[in-house]
Chains A and B, each alone.
Chain A
Amino acid sequence: EDKVVQSPLSLVVHEGDTVTLNCSYEVTNFRSLLWYKQEKKAPTFLFMLTSSGIEKKSGRLSSILDKKELFSILNITATQTGDSAVYLCVLYNNNDMRFGAGTRLTVKP
């Protein structure tokens, strides 16, 4: 069965720290890997990764996909309290979306 495993499940850091969230998968055939940030209710889209080895950046967030080793990481530098959320890793293939359980990040002032 296809699996998407995120680690750690939860993480507590202080403002200014840098964090790395991990997503490993056992999915035989997928089109893209997506990262979402979920605060309170609905997930918001962060990144879509399709090609291996190409880093995507958005402000303090960056992400990269390694299709050979079957993982992706999401980096957040200079964390802020507003980064506190659950970060979801999602594998997408032809409208089939496989979600990880998420990493709960708490950033303390």
Chain B
Amino acid sequence: DTGVSQDPRHKITKRGQNVTFRCDPISEHNRLYWYRQTLGQGPEFLTYFQNEAQLEKSRLLSDRFSAERPKGSFSTLEIQRTEQGDSAMYLCASSLEEVYEQYFGPGTRLTVT
């Protein structure tokens, strides 16, 4: 399978704990995006990388959120001190130079109890 993969697919955590998600993009894609999707809403942009550089962050990405793409390949999204409002589906996508035609991974569903 050469698509975008995400791990884990589901994560249940207690409020206050830290969680980390991983995204492996399509290998030749140099752009990688993170989105968050809550019930009834479309995916909301969080941040994106061009190779290893984080070029843009949404105002949705609070100080508790950090994303990295250290070698320009896979990326991690960490949420510190999780809150119940962080419960959502976290989607990763990758693309070539142009941002349209992104390829999405299956998502990580986070539930904060």
Contacts and interface: CB of A to CB of B under 8 A. Distances in A.
Interface of A: 32, 34, 41-45, 48, 88, 90, 92, 95-97, 99-102
Interface stretch (B38-46, B64-72, B76-84): B38-46
B60 to A, nearest CB: 12
Interface in B83-105: 89, 91, 93, 99-105
Contact of B55 (A41, A42, A43, A95): A95
B112 to A, nearest CB: 19
A44 B104 contact: yes
Interface of A is mostly: strand
A90 B99 contact: no
Contacts of B105: 42
Interface of B is mostly: loop
20 contacts: A32-B100, A34-B100, A41-B89, A41-B104, A41-B106, A42-B106, A42-B107, A45-B100, A45-B103, A48-B100, A88-B43, A92-B100, A95-B56, A95-B99, A99-B43, A99-B44, A100-B42, A101-B40, A101-B42, A102-B41
B103 to A, nearest CB: 8
Given A42-B93, A42-B106, A45-B100, 11 more contacts: A32-B100, A42-B107, A45-B101, A45-B102, A45-B103, A88-B43, A95-B56, A97-B45, A99-B42, A101-B41, A102-B42
